[in-house]
Amino acid sequence: MATDDYRPDTRRLAALSDGVFAIAITILVLSIDLPSGSDAGPVTVEMVAREWRDAVSYVLSFLVVGNFWTEHRHVFDHATHHTRDVEWLNILFLMAIAFLPFPTSLLGDYGGLVPVVFYAAVMTTTGLLLYALWWVVARNEAFFEEELAPERVRYDRLRFLLYPSVFGVSIPVALFVSLDLVYVCWGSLFVLTPLLQRRLLADGGETLPGGR
């Protein structure tokens, strides 16, 4: 079959992606270590409290990966087929998703400048890969049965750039300002996302992409 005629539907691609997401989001819990010293006696509140950094990195990564899954699903919500470049971009994105438990574990176990910057860099790269995937799909009208509304495309551009932008900005914040402020930057994502959605509605936008 000629390359130009290669246009399979998106069901198998979505099924593979869902499987990778499910495995990655499950493995994240392994980043939480057992309380140190627990095999020498009863576990105490103090022992559990010492693992707070593991818990924070787990919750953060779980929510971010959950958002990536939601956005990835949205990329293919209305696309009926795809091409090889979409397949390979999707594979690169899934490779980044499968890698996320590693920086999550580093962040939880050690903290400090290098793990924080490494974590932010991986999240930025993952977000940019997802944005590239959306861009390739959205600009190809042949993938859709109906034309995408311009308002929706503008909203989606902001939506898909939000996470890589915030994680990218947090890198110089970590290097030159404060590590504590980095966590504030990351936490702002969970405030900015609903604000962006409300802004679309306030501007008279149609139903939010993805049925939200």
pLDDT tens digits, one per residue of 72-94:
988 887 777 667 888 899 999 99
Helix spans in the chain (H) = 11-27, 45-49, 52-75, 84-99, 101-110, 113-138, 150-176, 179-202
Q: Which residue, among 165, 205, 199, has the nearest Cα to 185 in the 3D structure?
A: 165
Structure-block tokens of residue 170: 């947090």
Mean pLDDT, the chain, integer: 81
Say how far apart CA 169 and CA 191 lie, in whole Å.
16
β-partners of residue 41 are none
* 144 beta partners: 79
Above 70 in pLDDT, residue 201? no
Is pTM beyond 0.75 here? yes
**Model confidence band, residue 56 (pLDDT cutoffs 50, 70, 90):** confident
pLDDT at 163: 95
Write down the pLDDT at residue 44. Answer: 53
Q: Where are the domains of the chain?
A: 3-211
Q: How much of the chain exceeds pLDDT 70, in percent? A: 74
Q: Taking a C-beta distance cutoff of 8 angstroms, is the pair 84, 8 a contact? A: no
**Quick check: 23 and 98 in contact, CB under 8 A?**
yes
Separation between Cα atoms, residue 32 and residue 35, nearest integer Å: 9
Q: Greater confidence, 58 or 201?
A: 58
- pLDDT surpassing 80 at residue 51: no
Residue in 21, 35, 113, 14 with CA at minimum distance from that of residue 68: 21
Characterize 74-100 residue by residue with b for buried, 16 or more Cβ atoms within 10 angstroms of its Cβ, and e for exposed: bbbebbebbbeebeebbeebbebbeeb
What dihedral angle (degrees, nearest 10) is formed by the CA atoms of 135, 138, 189, 112? -30
b (16+ CB within 10 A) / e for 123-153: bbbbbbbbbebbbbbbeeeebeeeebeeebe
Predicted confidence (pLDDT) at residue 205 exceeds the cutoff of 60: no
Q: What is the pLDDT of residues 170-185, one digit of tens each?
A: 999 999 999 999 999 9
Higher pLDDT: 9 or 88? It is 88
